[in-house]
Amino acid sequence: MSECNRFWAIVRRRCAAAVTGTLLSGAALGAVTASGQQLTIDSLPLANAYGNGVHGFFAGAYDRAYEDLSTVIEAGSTDPRAWYFRGLAALHLGRSDEAEADFAEGARRESETGGAWPVARSLERVQGSARLQLERHRTRARVAMLQRRREAEQRRYSDIEEMQPEVLRRRRPEGPLTAPPAGEDNPFEERRPPTRAPEPAPAPEPLPPGEAPAAPPAQLELEPDAETPTKAKPALPAEKDEDPFK
């Protein structure tokens, strides 16, 4: 009975390993599709090798995991998780320098792809000091990427400012500005009907020959009026003589 139980336990472990490898391969394959890479016959073995390496790492087979993940990296994979898990395997094997190099390379590739791979979900089971060491590299890579983008924007803005005087100089007319001709219509001026010139007055008719022009009537000179005699003032009555009989 014990032999039978041992047999079924081995079968269950192998089935679980196969299922885990299939799931990891499917996740890697989905990440390849999300990143815009074309699925070819060469990408399937890479996904399988990556899944085997991750499964070997979680199973404690760090040597086998390191070899499988190295095969994936050497084959030209761009998945940053391959560097992360190979660095974790190297860290467990005591190769701290190789682990640091793999963490830095994986973080650089992750920051350049802009989150095209489900890195956080793949690293959920990785905890402790190894996870802290890996996260430090991820943070540094993100900060460095932000700085590079900011510097690129500043350079682009500086180039635009330097080009503005040249663009304005090209748009400026070469010669001096001249007024338009007098006869040229101004499209912005209100159109008015043309004014007519006043007609000239008719010339006087000439007189027939032999007739002299009539002389204007003579003006009568009025003599000044004779001085009108002034009325004599009435004489004052003479003073009455004294009545001698009074």
Within-domain flag for 206: no
Within-domain flag for 214: no
Within-domain flag for 51: yes
Q: Lowest mean pLDDT: which of 23-37, 180-194, 203-217?
A: 23-37
- The CATH number linked to 43 is 1.25.40
Most confident of 18-27, 65-74, 165-174: 65-74
Distance of CA 180 to the CA centre of its chain: 38
Q: How far apart are CA 134 and CA 103, in angstroms?
A: 6
Within-domain flag for 168: no
Within-domain flag for 130: yes
Say whether pTM exceeds 0.85.
no
Is the pLDDT higher at 212 or at 139? 139
Within-domain flag for 237: no
Instruction: Quote the number of domains for the chain.
Output: 1
Residue 80 confidence (pLDDT) above 70: yes
Residue-wise pLDDT tens digits, 10-52: 545 554 444 444 444 454 444 444 444 444 334 778 889 999 9
Within-domain flag for 216: no
Domain that holds residue 32: 2-153
Mean pLDDT for 176-187 is: 58
Q: Lowest mean pLDDT: which of 135-144, 164-173, 183-192?
A: 183-192
Q: How far apart are CA 95 and CA 69, in angstroms?
A: 15
Within-domain flag for 28: yes
233 residue type, one letter: K
Q: How far apart are CA 21 and CA 28, in angstroms?
A: 10
